[in-house]
Amino acid sequence: MKRIVVFASGSGSNAENIIKFFNHTKTAKVTNVLCSNEHAKVFERCKNLGTNCLYFNKSDFSTTDKILNILKNEADFIILAGFLWRIPEKIVAAFPKKIINIHPALLPKFGGKGMYGMNVHKAVKENNETETGITIHYVNENYDEGAIIFQSKTALNDQDTPETIAEKIHLLEQHYFPKVIEEVILSTNE
């Protein structure tokens, strides 16, 4: 049984979906959710699910080894589910090919610093894209640049707004993210 630590900083709908999915498999369990936003809804979701959720700040993450040590003790895989900070090099180095992010667009388009959540969907709309999608990828020290594991597309039309695009993306994320994580875990023989 592998151990997953999830990083989240927003609504936490992906974190909740991942926790629930792995509660019903023997592949892995979510041992902890780490959150960089004290007011995030993910705390309430985790409380309802009986899953640990811990707040941390920039210093815990980058200056001290507090988060690195938690990960070394509790994680075989690290999942970024709506997490916005760049991962410090020491954490990337300690978990090669074990950190996975979901991005709400078809990378390499609409990625990089500042490209998160609704900002992405607004940019997709402004660019008159005829399709968008999700990208699940390994994490390196640069935003949204690690090797791509999986993408899924959805068609857009003139009537779509950033809000309807967000809904389409949400459906893809809920459907695919836990399954793709499980496939990665099952195909990693360590």
Active site residues: 103
Q: In terms of Cα–Cα distance, which of 133, 135, 36, 33 is closest to 83? A: 36
Report whether the peptide linkage leading into residue 108 is cis, meaning its omega lies within 30 degrees of zero. yes
Residue nearest to ligand GAR (CB): 82
Binding residue for ligand GAR, selected from 5, 28, 81, 87, defined by CB under 6 A:
81
Query: Shortest CA distance to 5 belongs to which of 101, 54, 77?
Result: 77
> For ligand GAR, what does the binding mask look like between residues 19 and 58, x meaning CB under 6 A?
----------------------------------------
**Count of C-beta atoms within a 10 Å radius of residue 73:** 11
Stretch that binds ligand GAR, among 3-11, 54-62, 68-76, 154-162 (CB under 6 A): 3-11
Give least dist CB 129 to ligand GAR, A. 16
Residue number, 76 or 145, with CB nearest to ligand GAR: 145
Nearer to ligand GAR, 118 or 155 (CB): 118
**Residue 36 and residue 57 in contact, taking contact as beta carbons nearer than 8 Å:** yes
User: What whole-number distance in Å separates Cα of residue 128 and Cα of residue 132?
Assistant: 10
Q: In the numeric block, which tokens belong to residue 62? A: 């980058």
Contacting ligand GAR within 91-150 (CB under 6 A)? 102-104, 116-117, 120
Q: Rounded to 5 degrees, what angle do the CA atoms 173, 3, 146 make? A: 50
Binding footprint of ligand GAR, residue count (CB under 6 A): 17
Check binding of 10 to ligand GAR (CB under 6 A).
yes
82 is a contact residue toward ligand GAR (CB under 6 A)? yes
| 3-state SS, one letter per residue, for 67-116 | HHHHHHHHCCEEEECCCCCCCCHHHHHHCCCCEEEEECCCCCCCCCCCCC
Chain positions contacting ligand GAR, by CB under 6 A? 8, 10-15, 81-82, 102-104, 116-117, 120, 169, 173
